Chain A
Amino acid sequence: MRVQDFELLSTLLKKRSGLVLSEDKSYLLETRLMPVARKHALKGLEELCEVVRVKRDEAVISDITEAMTTNETLFFRDTRPFDMFRDHLIPNLLEKRQSSRRIRIWCAACSGGQEPYSLAMILKEMQAKLSGWRVEIMATDISVEMLDKAKSGLYTQFEVQRGLPITLLVKYFKQNGDKWQLDSGIRSMVQFRPFNLMENPRSLGEFDIVFCRNVLIYFDQDTKKMVLDNVAKMMPKDGALFLGGAETVLGVTDSFKPVTGRRGLYQRGDGDVGI
């Protein structure tokens, strides 16, 4: 890949999505952007870059951003955050939110929908305790393509075998040809919306629990801080934030601090999640 092409694409991706691409990851550009070039009937990456450079073709730029920011995920990824959600955070909120009887959850980079749907299945299993409560799951992603996939609730055999217990497959999925269709009742529990973490999320409202896992790793320090500071402003003092296993707030911002003994869970710097 030509140096000027790498620079063009890395600058574009940083600006559009916050994604920071080091030169040792240039192979990712080649593997992920060749299908984009083919889609637009271009011969290869050099021609793709020329279209970006000269024509500033928005459709091409949008496809490039989508291709580079689409990340794999799985149901109940890492297990523990979901155990904490079910066993500690929700019971805690059921006590604290007695007056409003409302809980809001945000999956900030929901990709194919496995994370918000995992939460929805947990909540469905707890429905007796949640009777009379309004629990909202908002799921956002920068990629419109991934949001469409997430909304469809249609998964491959490979996808339903990664993280999803067989009992939940039996309970909440139906076989549809060679795919597996998630039950409409679970799908309707999640609201999907396109959202770029580079923007201010104020319009989304306040959230008691935020999942923002395995996204910050792609950002530089300044962007991480900006995203975390924005998220902190959208949470009450007892709000909870989940980050991915390889992510931390330490050395990035004081707007969050880790919850002792709960790996991956953070609370506001001036707050207390209370578990």
Chain B
Amino acid sequence: MKTCLVVDDSRVIRMVARKILEELNFNVVEAEDGQQALNACKDSMPECVLLDWNMPNMNGLEFMLEMRKLPTGQDVIVVFCTTENDMDHIQEAVAAGANEYIMKPFDSEIIQSKFTQVGLI
């Protein structure tokens, strides 16, 4: 079973994402911000991260760049999932190494579609 780290400062979003991902047979770990997520990755590197952008302490982009520096951090598939729905943000994330990008609001179909595209399903 693959592990997905869900990083979002909204408890509701984490709960919705967990439900969808568990139905897709993922083991889900949660983090409330980038710093917590980085600590979680140092403990155990997940196969993929579903990542919000704007969060306190460390934002999603900063987290991804730090996480990529960790051993095996390059292998992790990062799917942004954010309300930053403009082309500038999308381009910035892709240029920085995001594998996919989900614009909120999302549903199970979009998560399934994106996770399939990046070979997680």
**CB under 8 Å from chain A, chain B span 71-113:** 85-87, 90-91, 94, 98, 100-103, 106, 109-110, 113
Residues of chain A with a CB closer than 8 A to B87's CB? 170, 174-175
Tell me the complex Cα distance, A181–B46, Å.
35
Interface flag for A203 (CB, 8 Å): no
Contact check, B110 vs A166: say whether CB atoms are below 8 A apart. no
CB neighbors of B among A185-206 (8 A)? none
C-alpha spacing A169/B85, complex, angstroms: 12
Q: Are A161 and B103 in contact (CB under 8 A)?
A: yes
Q: Is the CB of B110 within 8 A of A162?
A: yes
Given A157-B85, A157-B103, A161-B103: A166 and B90 interface contact (C-beta under 8 Å): yes
B25-74, CB < 8 A from A: none
Flag whether B117 is at the interface (Cβ < 8 A).
Answer: yes
Cα of A165 to Cα of B109 in the assembled complex, Å: 14
Known: A157-B103, A165-B117, A175-B87. A170 touches B94 (CB 8 A): yes
The residue on B at minimum CB distance from A174 is B87
Known A-B contacts A79-B116, A157-B85, A157-B103; the reply to A162 vs B109 at CB < 8 A is yes
Chain A residues whose CB sits within 8 angstroms of the CB of B106 once the complex forms: 161
Q: Which A-B residue pairs are the 3 nearest by beta carbons? A: A166-B101, A161-B110, A175-B87
Residues of A within 8 A of B98 (CB): 166
B86: nearest residue on chain A (CB-CB)? Answer: A175
Q: Chain B residues with Cβ under 8 A from A4's Cβ?
A: none
For B117, give the chain A residue with the smallest CB separation: A165
Distance from A58 Cβ to chain B, minimum over Cβ atoms (Å): 37
Q: How far is the CA of A72 from the CA of B48 in the complex (A)?
A: 29
List 8 A-B pairs, Cβ < 8 Å: A76-B117, A79-B117, A161-B102, A161-B103, A161-B106, A163-B113, A163-B117, A175-B86
* In the complex, A158 has a CB within 8 A of chain B: yes
Chain B minimum-CB-distance residue to A166: B101
Nearest-CB residue, chain A, relative to B100: A166
A167's partner among B85, B94, B114, B116 (CB-CB below 8 A) is B94
Give A209 to B103 CA distance when docked, in angstroms. Answer: 34
In the complex where A157-B85, A158-B110 touch, is A169 in contact with B100 (Cβ < 8 A)?
no
Q: A267–B110 Cα gap in the complex (Å)? A: 33
| A77-102 contacts to B (CB < 8 Å) | 79
A136 CB, min distance to chain B CBs, angstroms: 28
Q: A157-B85, A161-B114, A163-B117 are in contact. Are A170 and B100 (CB under 8 A)?
A: no
Residue of A nearest to B91 (CB): A170
Minimum distance in angstroms from A76 CB to a CB of chain B: 8
Q: Does A60 contact B (CB under 8 A)?
A: no
Given contacts A163-B113, A166-B90, A170-B91, 8 further A-B contacts (CB under 8 A): A157-B85, A157-B103, A161-B113, A162-B110, A166-B98, A166-B101, A169-B90, A174-B87
Q: Which residues of A contact B109 (CB under 8 A)?
A: 162
Instruction: Name which residue of chain B comes closest to A169, CB basis.
Output: B90
**Would you give the shortest CB distance from A263 to chain B, in whole angstroms?**
16
Contact of B113 among A74, A167, A169, A174 (CB under 8 A): A74
With a cutoff of 8 Å between Cβ atoms, the chain A residues found around residue B102 in the complex are: 161
Which B-chain residue is minimally distant from A76 (CB atoms)? Answer: B117
CB of A181 to closest CB in B, whole Å:
11
Please indicate the chain A residues that have their CB under 8 angstroms from the CB of B116 in the complex: 79
In the assembled complex, the CB of B103 is this many whole angstroms from the nearest CB of chain A, namely: 5
- Near B by CB (< 8 A), chain A positions 45-64 give none
Output the least CB separation between A154 and chain B (Å).
Answer: 15
A74 to B116, CA, bound (A): 14
